Structure 1
């Protein structure tokens, strides 16, 4: 179904793929069948959403002149635009009987006429199912890089992402820091409260981390009760502030169980990238700082630049 949001026309994709107007007086699409056939064929050649939108934008110019298009799917955190935005916009929602597939906007410097809106709606019917397939492909890829229990990214995603971000940070002269976090005495949680409680603790702790970091940062489940948090464009002092916020947030969690209340803490090691760092050396320094945090009594934040002999409190933030 192609539903108009801010335009005057309307069209519906029936099961037999026949376009019908919502109103008898509404303009009808005037599109050559060979154009629809060609467009439909080209849209079947990719599952990449950005490529799909580029093909659609280029091909529809033969039927309706458009300066640019923008597409969004909030649930998948997808937002893209092609061409340029202009004064006049026609907006539509893409939806099948079961699936919402996002919103698409057409931009032009002159007002869209009724017959042009009808043509856009006719063209959009070729886009609905390719977009649905592309979204499912995107969701499948995202699931492959996500830990099913906590929702954090997994080790496969970490290897791809951190290597890339280190290279980009060096190229553009930007700071990059990572945090290695371990939940303290987590084995006792599983042993004394059960694995279902352990799973609940992991999920709530991961949610704390996600709520404490910025949209540009990423949280990865490194293994077991250990997490790695990548902080883009963050110097050591900023990374330590975020680490302390995470530590306090996790320490504030409270869990009720048949065996009584449960509270947990976390130890965090912080390392900031230097120009000669690789992913391995950066992770090793953060891991060493984490080891120091646990050695000094847990429930604290330690940076790789800290003078361990001068640390007496439960956390150290510059």
Structure 2
């Protein structure tokens, strides 16, 4: 199947009040309704689905996609067409992203011009959705290590527990902290302490599977949600963490060690009881057998 990629980079002066300057009042009302619907959500996929309903009146397409760097979304049920038509979306002549139609038949010049006008109704809602997503990502991220923070952990733990119950899978929770971190911080200064925290965060990320999630609560406290967990998978994570600590130049220089505690979710658990049991395992391990992963 041949794919045609055409970039349209024309820009048009846009005035929202032009929607009233139309001969056809029905068109004006429909476009006003479209604007109102597009402004009722900050979810990018919903914006694209709302827009697609209007766009189908002017072009036959089997898929509609928006891309901007790592941001990618598509309407429900999108699939390849006979060819593609791409439009550059811009705000004040600054590139916002690409809107791609998987088309099944050529777009007439008249409908092409209508689409160009309709795109002006979607650029600001898309931009708002992207800015909102970026702001939420920052709110869920630890500023020092780049890991997800405690707020995001609470959301993901609830989601993982719900998924495990539904799919009849085990979910494991590992909590970790650094041994004698306060001594290191006080002796060598906060700059060294920060570098050690970043190094330990990297060690944890390198020790888990793609399906697992690593979080920093603050200070030297960390957690890992292990989905579809088993005794074997948790022991493997423990071994990888030990290896990462032993091979990192900065962590070995300051003789950084850690304590780990883990547990599996019980059917009667809520998020609080699940976490508290893992935390209890951590402190049992910390003050008893510093070389072994502790389970409660």
Q: Structure 2 length normalisation: TM-score? A: 0.81
When the two structures are aligned, how many residues end up with a matched partner? 281
State the Cα RMSD in Å: 3.0
2:261 equivalent to 1:280: no
SS of equivalent residue, structure 1 residue 13 = coil
More helix by share: 2
Are positions 1:213 and 2:174 aligned together? no
Please say if residues 49 and 131 of structure 1, whose CA atoms lie closer than 8 Å, have aligned partners that are also in contact: yes
Counterpart selection for 1:136 from 120, 123, 131: 131
8 Å contact from structure 2 (residues 6, 86) kept in 1: no
Match of 1:189 in 2: 184
Inter-partner Cα distance in structure 2 for 1:74 and 1:285: 41
Distance 1:169 1:261, change over 3 A: closer
In the aligned structure 1, how far is the partner of 2:220 from the partner of 2:289?
18
Is the Cα contact below 8 Å between 2:170 and 2:229 reproduced in 1?
yes
Which stretches in structure 2 are left out of the alignment for 5+ residues?
A: 16-23
After alignment, is 243-252 or 94-103 more displaced?
94-103
CA shift in 2, pair 1:303/1:293, >3 Å: closer
Quote the residue 1:56 is aligned against. Answer: 51
Match 2:105 to one of 100, 111, 115:
111
Contact 2:178 2:256 in 1 (8 A): yes
Q: Which of 280, 287, 291 lines up with 1:295 in the alignment?
A: 287
Tell me the residue number matched to 1:177. 172
Q: Are positions 1:84 and 2:78 aligned together?
A: yes
- Contact 2:11–2:93 (CA<8 Å) still a contact in 1? no
- Residue segments in structure 1 that go unaligned for 5+ positions in a row: 19-31, 306-318
How far apart in 2 are the matches of 1:230 and 1:269?
12
Q: Matches of residues 1-318 of structure 1 in structure 2 within 5 Å?
A: 7-8=5-6, 10-14=8-12, 16-17=13-14, 34=28, 36-76=31-71, 78-88=72-82, 89-96=84-91, 101-108=96-103, 110-113=104-107, 115=109, 116-117=111-112, 119-255=114-250, 261-296=253-288, 298=290, 300-304=291-295
Give the direction of change, closer, same or farther, for the CA distance of 1:118–1:215 in structure 2 (3 Å limit): farther
Distance 1:224 1:176, change over 3 A: same
CA shift at 1:6, angstroms? 5.1
> C-alpha separation between the residues in 2 aligned to 1:189 and 1:97?
51
